[in-house]
Amino acid sequence: MGLKERRRREKEERRMQILDAARKLLFTKGINATSINQIAKLAELGVGTIYFYYRNKEELFAALQEEGLEILYEKIQDALDSGKTPGEKLKKIASAYFKFSYEYKDYFDIINYFLSSPETILSKKLKSRVDMHGTRILEIVEDTINEGVRAGLFKTENARRSSLVFWGMLHGLTQLKKMKNTILAGEGHEELIDYATKNFIKGLK
């Protein structure tokens, strides 16, 4: 391994060290009670090192969201490639989202933390940057629905609105995993999402 590659790897490892510490503090203290000093202490790094990578804690938490959304985007793209018809593709997208919520729980919880926050935590610039990643995912759903419309399989008049409904349905149902011993008792979580997706597709027809 050359010096340049070693430095690149060390830099990436340090960045992940910072993000891991920020993630832990986010869920124990919340963003408002978390400071750069606390992140530096938990990461066992100097405060100056944190600022070398991120200008402030908001930028750091935005980076966590972006990483999670990028992973989700790649998972959905992979799932899309395995579907043959628009209906199958929507089912694959739903399944990919469900699996992401379990396999990448930390990232899913961070995305959900900011989505469910009653206040806008990030600056307009940072929020727009994060939203751009979410928009890319939503566009995949919209394009899939439009594909079905062009093929004469779907009859929706507003693919954009339908994609928003689909995404809201998936996200809402995924939240029910917290109630596996109450509301979901005796109900398979993945089967429930599959059932809802099938009925959504029927509605599009």
Which CATH number belongs to the domain containing residue 185 in this structure?
Answer: 1.10.357.10
- Clarify whether residues 197 and 133 are in a common domain: yes
- Clarify whether residues 77 and 90 are in a common domain: yes
For 38-74, write each residue's pLDDT tens digit.
Answer: 999 999 999 999 999 999 888 888 888 998 999 999 9
Q: Is the pTM of this model over 0.95?
A: no
Average pLDDT over residues 164-184: 86
- Clarify whether residues 94 and 168 are in a common domain: yes
For 112-131, write each residue's pLDDT tens digit.
Answer: 887 777 566 778 888 888 89
- Yes or no: say if 94 and 170 are a contact pair by the CB < 8 Å rule: yes
Last residue of a domain, one of 17, 39, 54: 54
- Clarify whether residues 135 and 102 are in a common domain: yes
Tokens found for residue 14: 């340090």
Last residue of a domain, one of 54, 78, 96: 54
Q: What is the pLDDT of residue 86?
A: 96
- Clarify whether residues 32 and 131 are in a common domain: no
- Clarify whether residues 67 and 24 are in a common domain: no
- Clarify whether residues 198 and 131 are in a common domain: yes
Distances (CA, A) of 109 to 36, 42, 74: 21, 20, 18
- Clarify whether residues 44 and 66 are in a common domain: no
For 129-146, write each residue's pLDDT tens digit.
Answer: 889 999 999 999 999 999
Task: Give the Cα separation of 44 and 28 in Å (integer).
Answer: 18
* Range(s) of the domain holding residue 157: 57-204
- Clarify whether residues 70 and 150 are in a common domain: yes
Tokens found for residue 42: 């938990």
Tokens found for residue 193: 């999402």
| CATH number of the domain encompassing residue 43 | 1.10.10.60
- Clarify whether residues 26 and 96 are in a common domain: no
- Clarify whether residues 145 and 79 are in a common domain: yes
Task: Give the Cα separation of 171 and 123 in Å (integer).
Answer: 24
- Yes or no: say if 56 and 39 are a contact pair by the CB < 8 Å rule: no
- Clarify whether residues 157 and 92 are in a common domain: yes
User: What is the chain's alpha carbon radius of gyration, rounded to the nearest angstrom?
Assistant: 20
Say how many domains are in the chain: 2
Written in H, E and C, the secondary structure of the chain is: CCHHHHHHHHHHHHHHHHHHHHHHHHHHHCCCCCCHHHHHHHHCCCHHHHHHHCCCHHHHHHHHHHHHHHHHHHHHHHHHHCCCCHHHHHHHHHHHHHHHHHHCHHHHHHHHHHHHCCCCCCCHHHHHHHHHHHHHHHHHHHHHHHHHHHCCCCCCCCHHHHHHHHHHHHHHHHHHHHHCCCCCCCCCHHHHHHHHHHHHHHHHC
